[in-house]
A and B are shown apart, each in its own frame.
Chain A
Amino acid sequence: MTDIMKINVGPQHPSTHGVLRLITELDGEKIISIKPEIGYLHRGLEKLAESKTYLQYLPLVDRVDYLGGFFTSYAFCNAVEHLLNIQTTKRTEYIRTLCMELNRIASHLLWLGTYMLDLGASSPIFYTFRERESILALFEELTGQRMMYNYFTFGGVRFDVDNNWLDKVNDFLNILPKAIGNYEKIITNNAIFIDRTKNKGILTKSFCSKYAITGPNMRASGLEIDFRQKMPYSAYNELGFVVSVNNLSDSYGRYLVRIQEMRTSIDLIKQCIMFLKQNKDNVSCNINPIKLKIPQGEYTSYVESSRGLLCCYIQSDGSEKPYRVKWRTGSFYAVQVLPELVIGQNYNDLIAIFGSLDVILPEVDR
């Protein structure tokens, strides 16, 4: 028995994907206790909503999860639409679905690159960023910005998509499966990668239910729950897809689920493009967002984001500003389960396990 050493991992640590502080106690190389400290990236986005009108808050919503701006945007717009009791057109919903699925691919690509960097492999990040760059260029052309889109509005989207843009998306989707194949050639059967991820960070089904883990982390534990299929929102009830799931429960399983999800997203986007090329319709509603007053009531919308279930709760008191806004994000719960996964493990596995959970801190702290 050696002396117990207490060290701080973070908040300024490149592998904590933001500013997470892990107060770790080590016995030699073995982790005996770990306590995540969050709040370093707290921007008060929930309280901020109470002092802004719905339209003023709309651009800030993208900042809840900066790698999945479309998901948060959709959750907020959907909640407002339900409170206003307005129906969006089918074309709007297909455009939103397309954007969200492209966003999911971009988010998973960034995760893949940075996760491999955490494990010491420096090549994949260049390849994943190359493909992600193509997606961001498409978003920039459609919305005007690369990450903070402000594209979805109440009852519609800001601009309609044209066939030219859809063709560009299609061209990109044709090269993406080959690119994913290339990542798999480098990573999936790599002996070092397997050694560092197989049977590491076992997230059992009971942990998932105890800590409310959702998203790819949960599906890698054998629970086949995908809110796109279980409780379809947007255009998902008209799209066919297979939920990616496996029973490995470890970091390797979580990697496989995300790779599979990217392939699923490609299929979904192709179905959306087919619909959008055939159907022409309006993409905006006849409401004036500037003088928007929402009737008294409350609603919780939900989205299956790239990091799990994302909920947006809005309570309105009938005025121009929301009375209360609450976000439920997947990463917050993934951070809480970390001690269960790493206690008893070697210190060098800490980042390898933490990285596999795909936590980003703006989503945790909001």
Chain B
Amino acid sequence: MLLKKLLNKIYYLILGHFTVFKHSFKRAVTVEYPEKKVKLPERFRGKHVWNSNECVGCKICEKVCPVNAIHINKVEDNFEMQIELSKCIFCGNCQYSCLKHAIKMSNDFELAVLNKNDLNLNITSNEKKIEAKND
């Protein structure tokens, strides 16, 4: 009886080890990040892209932001958008609430900067399709 129990234990230990061993021949599921990147889906919520020509200054994005990261100001004939990415939680409320689809979230997720102030984006141009870039 004791021997049977012992053999049973050994059998399941070997079975477990064999199951783990089988994985040695499988392909890797991870990606070596900086060199290779995974393809991000269309709906991914990364850094904001703002189209000033579409914006009508209704300030809905300001109202729905849970962390008050967005500010829309009027500068002469145009609008200026200030967004603090260090505050932003990337919930997408601004994007989903914008009636004119002026604010969109891009696939850009690499937001590391050396200076924290670089994360406060200030976008004031009236060119068509302005991308929010911090360089």
Residues of A within 8 A of B (CB): 52-53, 55-60, 123, 127, 130, 133, 140-145, 148, 150, 158-159, 182, 185-187, 189-191, 289-290
* Cβ contacts B13-29/A at 8 Å (1 or 0 each): 10110011001000001
> Can you name the residue of chain A whose Cβ is closest to the Cβ of B99?
A290
For the complex formed, measure the closest distance between the CB of A315 and the CB atoms of chain B, giving whole angstroms.
Answer: 20
Within 8 A of A (CB), among B29-57: 29, 40-41, 43-45
A56 touches B66 (CB 8 A): yes
Chain A residues in 8 Å Cβ range of B97 = 55, 289-290
Can you list 18 A-B pairs with a CB-CB distance of less than 8 A? A55-B97, A56-B93, A58-B93, A59-B93, A133-B29, A140-B43, A143-B43, A144-B41, A144-B44, A145-B45, A145-B90, A148-B89, A150-B93, A182-B19, A185-B16, A186-B16, A190-B12, A191-B12
> Can you name the residue of chain A whose Cβ is closest to the Cβ of B89?
A59
B60 proximal to A (CB < 8 A): yes
Checking B13, B40, B43, B90 against A142 with a beta-carbon cut-off of 8 angstroms, the contacting residue is B43
- A59-B66, A144-B45 given. 8 additional CB < 8 A pairs? A55-B93, A59-B91, A59-B92, A59-B93, A123-B20, A148-B91, A186-B20, A290-B60
For the complex formed, measure the closest distance between the CB of A126 and the CB atoms of chain B, giving whole angstroms.
Answer: 8
Q: A56-B65, A133-B29 are in contact. Are A191 and B43 (CB under 8 A)?
A: no
Give Cα distance in the complex from A123 to B23, angstroms: 10
Checking A52, A133, A142, A182 against B66 with a beta-carbon cut-off of 8 angstroms, the contacting residue is A52
Residues of B within 8 A of A (CB): 8-9, 12-13, 15-16, 19-20, 23, 29, 40-41, 43-45, 60, 63-66, 89-93, 96-97, 105
A-B interface pairs (CB < 8 A), number: 71
B13 touches A191 (CB 8 A): yes
Chain A residues in 8 Å Cβ range of B41 = 140-141, 144
Chain B residues in 8 Å Cβ range of A60 = 66
B19 touches A186 (CB 8 A): yes
A185 touches B15 (CB 8 A): yes
Chain A residues in 8 Å Cβ range of B23 = 127
> Can you name the residue of chain B whose Cβ is closest to the Cβ of A182?
B19
Chain A residues in 8 Å Cβ range of B29 = 130, 133
> Can you name the residue of chain A whose Cβ is closest to the Cβ of B10?
A191
For the complex formed, measure the closest distance between the CB of A147 and the CB atoms of chain B, giving whole angstroms.
Answer: 11
Q: A55-B64, A182-B19 are in contact. Are A144 and B43 (CB under 8 A)?
A: yes
Interface centre among B8, B12, B63, B97 (most CB of A within 10 A): B12
A185 touches B93 (CB 8 A): no
Interface centre among B13, B16, B20, B105 (most CB of A within 10 A): B16
Checking B12, B13, B16, B91 against A150 with a beta-carbon cut-off of 8 angstroms, the contacting residue is B91
> Can you name the residue of chain A whose Cβ is closest to the Cβ of B58?
A290
Q: A189-B12, A190-B12, A191-B13 are in contact. Are A140 and B60 (CB under 8 A)?
A: no
For the complex formed, measure the closest distance between the CB of A172 and the CB atoms of chain B, giving whole angstroms.
Answer: 13
Checking B9, B15, B44, B91 against A140 with a beta-carbon cut-off of 8 angstroms, the contacting residue is B44
